[in-house]
């Protein structure tokens, strides 16, 4: 049985995938609320409600996090998540109403298929309807449906990205992550140092190793700023403060740095959210929790590309990691 973010008590995940072209969205639900935080490291983010999660701001608990394709258009999917939660009376009590708190982030997947098709409120609602405690599907689903990696020397030499999830348990406390990997850079297995998906050689038949190519002086040819991005959610059943949850999100980026080269670039909008449900009724030291977050994120990135499958559309072919292994 594979590990996933759903191993964290109080967390559910649902995908909505649009079959008309590769795009979709993923919702991480915390119906009872969870202490929330975020750390945005990329230079071209597309986000919603991230200011709310700053440690000096008053709202502490969130009820869902949206991860979506469709670039900035995909933020519309959060409206459907809010409607689904509102129908069930889930939200922050503010006098006459309950307002669901739904932060989110988007990635750029518009080059695949008809760019006029992108996740909307109906997709966000559908993802909530599909949510469960079961380990979520990985690869070409949800926010990972249109993801691609290794675009640093042009989209024509990229490979298929995806979405993946993993968890780590220490002394009865669990930290899990779900990551949609749409990185400009390559994905590297930190255990071996080998590139497993990323920029290909000019003939498209082999992996290039973008990091080594940059150090040789080859000129990068990235797409427009914001046309990439790795986004994800870290969740734990540990009891954390908002400041501590923020540190968990920060240390989760260590996992991205281990597995994506280069990462946090001018052309990426990398963002990680953190949710602490407190369902275990206990905690661990932040050193241990941070190490767990980094490990879960690294494993989720690897699972995202290993579960991905090739996509062929008019004018573009993106092989998957298994095709070039």
- pLDDT of 310 strictly over 90: yes
Confidence of residue 223 (pLDDT cuts 50, 70, 90): low
- Summarised one tens digit per residue, pLDDT across range 149-164 is 999 999 999 999 999 9
> How large is the average pLDDT for residues 302-320?
95
pLDDT of 222 strictly over 80: no
Please, which pLDDT band fits residue 315 given cuts at 50, 70 and 90?
Answer: confident
The residue extents of the domains of the chain are 9-324
Supply the pTM of this predicted model: 0.96
Q: Is the CATH code 3.60.70.12 the one for domain 9-324?
A: yes
Per-residue pLDDT reduced to its tens digit, 175-185: 999 999 999 99
Distance CA 23, CA 31 (A): 25
Confidence of residue 288 (pLDDT cuts 50, 70, 90): very high
| Model confidence band, residue 44 (pLDDT cutoffs 50, 70, 90) | confident
- Whether omega before 262 lies within 30 degrees of 0, making that bond cis, reads yes
pLDDT > 80? residue 224: no
What is the per-residue burial (b if ≥16 Cβ within 10 Å, else e) of 70-94? Answer: bbebbbbbbbbbbebbeeeebbeee
User: How large is the average pLDDT for residues 16-21?
Assistant: 94
Q: Which tokens go with 283?
A: 């905690």
Asked whether residue 313 carries a pLDDT value surpassing 70, the answer given is: yes
pLDDT the model gives residue 49? 96
Token pair listed for 219: 């000129």
Question: What is the reported pLDDT for 227?
Answer: 75
Spatial distance between the Cα atoms of 135 and 291, rounded to a whole number of angstroms: 22
pLDDT of 42 strictly over 90: no
Share of the chain above pLDDT 70, in %: 98
pLDDT score for 226: 58
Q: In this predicted model, what pLDDT tens digit does every residue of 289-309 receive, in sequence order?
A: 999 999 999 999 999 999 999
Q: What is the pLDDT of residue 181?
A: 98
Residues 6 or more apart from 202 whose CB is under 8 A from it? 157
pLDDT tops 70 at residue 52:
yes
């Amino acid at each position: 049985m594979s590990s996933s973010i759903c191993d964290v008590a109080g967390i559910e995940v649902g995908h909505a995938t649009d079959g008309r072209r590769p795009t979709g969205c993923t919702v991480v639900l915390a119906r009872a609320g969870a202490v929330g935080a975020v750390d945005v490291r990329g230079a071209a983010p597309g986000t919603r409600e991230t200011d709310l999660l700053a440690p000096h701001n008053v709202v502490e608990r969130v009820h869902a996090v949206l991860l979506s394709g469709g670039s900035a258009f995909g933020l519309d999917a959060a409206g459907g998540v809010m409607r689904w939660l509102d129908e069930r009376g889930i939200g922050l009590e503010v006098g006459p109403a309950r307002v669901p708190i739904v932060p989110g982030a988007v990635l750029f997947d518009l080059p695949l298929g008809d760019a006029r098709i992108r996740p909307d409120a109906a997709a966000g609602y559908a993802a909530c309807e599909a949510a469960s405690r079961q380990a979520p599907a990985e690869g070409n689903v949800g926010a990972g449906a249109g993801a691609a990696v290794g675009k640093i020397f042009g989209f024509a030499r990229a490979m298929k990205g995806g979405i993946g999830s993993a968890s780590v348990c220490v002394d009865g406390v669990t930290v899990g992550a779900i990551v949609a990997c749409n990185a400009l850079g390559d994905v590297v297995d930190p255990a071996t140092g080998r590139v497993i998906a990323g920029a290909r050689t000019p003939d498209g038949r082999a992996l290039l190793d973008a990091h080594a190519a940059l150090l040789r002086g080859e000129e990068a040819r990235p797409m427009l700023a914001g046309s990439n991005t790795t986004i994800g959610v870290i969740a734990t059943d540990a009891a954390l403060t908002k400041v501590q949850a923020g540190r968990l999100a920060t240390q989760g980026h260590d996992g991205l740095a281990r597995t994506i080269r280069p990462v946090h670039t001018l052309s990426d909008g990398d963002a990680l959210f953190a949710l602490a449900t407190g369902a275990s009724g206990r905690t661990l030291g932040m050193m241990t929790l941070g190490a767990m977050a980094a490990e879960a994120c690294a494993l989720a990135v690897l699972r995202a590309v290993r579960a991905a499958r090739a996509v062929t559309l008019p004018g573009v072919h993106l092989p998957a990691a298994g095709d070039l292994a």
